[in-house]
Amino acid sequence: MSDDTPETLAVPDAERVRELLEAHVPLTLIADLTAAEAVPSQEILEKEGLPEEEWWQPENGTAQASGDGRS
């Protein structure tokens, strides 16, 4: 094996990063959170801004409240 062959121990981390990217977590945020010197969240927010979709907010509950599955 050559020195540039990825180690199998890195695969679970790569899978987690892929999942975060599929959930639309910005790559820069993932990099910042894993950096040796963390960047303050406010600085990241100022650079990237808020996403168009507020995925962290619960849905309005209209469909769940009606019980019929329609919005």
> What stretches of 1-71 show up as alpha helix (H) in DSSP?
11-22, 27-34, 41-48, 62-66
Q: Could you give the maximum distance between any two Cα atoms of the chain, in Å?
A: 60
Name the residue ranges covered by the structural domains of the chain: 23-52
Interval 37-71: pLDDT, tens: 776 778 878 888 888 888 888 877 554 444 444 44
Task: Report pLDDT for 6.
Answer: 56
Contacts of 27 (CB under 8 A, 6+ apart): 21
Q: How large a percentage of the chain has pLDDT more than 70?
A: 65
